[in-house]
Structure 1
């Protein structure tokens, strides 16, 4: 499925889930963000106070995947799930990177990048990293009050 096409929808079961694959391309980040926002709107969460947090975190996680986890010729998978209480976003990359994403330590020199996981940590209720072969899954969760 191309990144701009509409996914097949089955809205009668929980959890709701949308998966979309993106190529290694700078246009994939805004496309992933639009896809996440579209999913939230479809589930009736467009006006949810945390919708912007979800959108921003998708941008950060997708950017990190493109910069650090997606080799040339490959891409990443964005998964957005909603179980009636929690929205979970996952970015699955296919890289062979050896490091686990981490928030830089206070003593680390701030470079041009490196602040994305600070935002993810601050805006989400939980986030983490899981193994995948090849690559990894970086996820963030947002729970309704």
Structure 2
């Protein structure tokens, strides 16, 4: 061994169908970014926002009663992949342009943010449900102190 500390590059955690799971998923993502030395990178807040949006979508639209959703984060070089797995029906899509879906339509705007902030995003089917994912290219900063990256709940 060369003395280099190996950090796990794959992290996953399941969350209950509960409104408190969204801030918990965000804290999970922040812990991973801190552990990977990426909490101070310029895109860390984008990653955290997208985790919140995807977790919210899973909670509201993709997790049947009595089930959970899972957040998976993978570090590959300077690329972070975020996946949110759920067991719900349907495939998420970006909301229509304003005026086309009616003013009362509140859904779909989270994916607009995910599409705008991430390098890539998409949806894959799985045995039961789906995986909504997004990818970011990050560069680490000088410090990884979590106190500079607040987690709101």
Q: TM-score, normalised by structure 2?
A: 0.81
Equivalence map 1:39-54=2 (5 Å):
39-54=32-47
Return the offset for 1:113.
3.2
Mapped to 2, the partners of 1:44 and 1:74 lie a distance apart of 32
Unmatched segments (≥5 aa) in structure 2: 140-153
Task: Work out which of the residue numbers 54, 66, 74 in structure 2 matches 1:73.
Answer: 66
Residue in structure 1 matched with residue 87 of structure 2 by the alignment: 94
Residue in structure 2 matched with residue 4 of structure 1 by the alignment: none
Residue in structure 2 matched with residue 105 of structure 1 by the alignment: 96
Higher RCO structure, 1 or 2 (CA under 8 Å, sep 6+): 2
Unmatched segments (≥5 aa) in structure 1: 1-10
What is the CA RMSD across the aligned residues, in angstroms? 1.5
Aligned residue-pair number: 132
Bigger Rg, structure 1 or 2: 2
Structure 1 runs of 4+ aligned residues shifted over 4 Å read none
